[in-house]
Each structure stands twice: as C-alpha cells, then as structure tokens.
Amino acid sequence: MAGNVALREKRVKPDQFMDLVRRRRAVFPPVFTDMPIEEAWIAHLLEAANWAPTHRRTEPWRFHVFRGAGRQKLADFMVEAYTRITAPEKFSEATRDKFRLNALRSDTVIALILKRDPQERIPEWEEIASLAAAVQNLWLCATAYGLGGYWSTPGLIREVGPWLGLPEGERCMGLFYLGHYDMPEMPGQRGPVAEKVTWHMD
C-alpha cells in the first residue's frame, strides 16, 4: 500500500498529460524561427524516445541527428536524390526547393532509423510499432518544450539509408524536422473516440 501512495504522489497530473497530448501538432518548417534549440533539449528528446516500450527489449530505434553544417549536407542530398529519382514529367521545382528549405529552416533534423533485431525474435511490425512509440515520445517531449516538429515520410526516404551507409538490418523510416516556431496554436482535428471503441461489459 505504501508503495501505491508513493506512486500516486509522484504521478504526472492527468490533466497536464491530456493537455500535452492534445496540444501536440505537426508543425512545419516554413513557420520555424531562427532561434537555436539548446543541445540539452535535443538530448532530452532523444532520452524520451529511448524510453519507448519494446517487446523483448530489442530497442529497435536509432537516430542520426543533423545540426549546424550537417543540415546543409542533408539539404544537398535531398535535392540530389529528388532530382535523380523523379521522372522529368513529374519534377517540380517547388518540391525540390521544399526539400532543401525543410532541412535548412530546421534547427535539427533527426533521421528515424529502424534497427531490426538481428535474430528476428519478434515480427518486424512490432519493431516498427516500437519505433513509432519512440517518435511519439520525442514529439510529446518537443511539445513540452514548446518546439514544433513533424514526421516526414516522402517516397525518397528509401534513398536516405544508402546515403547514410546504414548497415544491413537498418532502414530509414522518416525524418523528424524540429525548430522553434512562430504560429498561433492550431486546434487538432479528430473524430470522436466513442465512434472507435467497442465496449464489452457484460
């Protein structure tokens, strides 16, 4: 019993938690500002990601963090990859420029890497689920700091792994763009949860 009391005293206030969850938004680089993010904050975001649930504790998440001049290298690569893999009739200068500016307007970009259990003790989908939970932790932590960000998964994401020289069993599952931002708070949009729940009570 004493243990339960101690736990109750330490718990996060449920109202604050709900507020954080509801306020997390996808915030895009065009509204990012030039204000730098403290490196300690980025470390906290990664630490939060590292506490995601993980079946058999495979901890299948890895992160490549682009900051400073690293962002220019990423921007150059994204432009090169987009230009190379896009059919001429589908090529858009606006899309090419968006890939460049997304990297350059962000303070930090984090490549989200799935690291498959070498022994494949659990199905791949469980490890993807675990990586997604890690990203959610990171995203909520960013929200707590007042940072904006979003998980980006364009088709050319499959080019990122070879560019990074990822070893076999590792795959890039997206880029997370991060920055301070200047934009009024946006209300989220979700249908009522009641429409998505089936209760079994008797």
Among 153, 158, 162, 183, binds ligand FMN (CB under 6 A): 153
| Interaction between residue 151 and ligand FMN (CB under 6 A) | yes
| CA 174 to each of CA 89, 113, 142, 198: distance values in angstroms, whole numbers, following the listed order | 25, 8, 17, 33
3-class SS of residue 175: strand
Under rule CB under 6 A, residue 86 binds ligand FMN: no
Considering beta carbons, is residue 68 or 188 the nearer one to ligand FMN? 188
How many CB atoms neighbour CB 88 within 10 A? 6
What is the distance between the alpha carbons of residues 46 and 52, in angstroms, rounded to a whole number?
11
- From candidates 23, 25, 44, 100, binder to ligand FMN by CB under 6 A: 25
Binding residues for ligand FMN, rule CB under 6 A, total 9
CB of 65 to ligand FMN, least distance (A): 19
Residue 150 lies near ligand FMN (rule: CB under 6 A): yes
Which residues are near ligand FMN by CB under 6 A? 25-26, 150-154, 174, 188
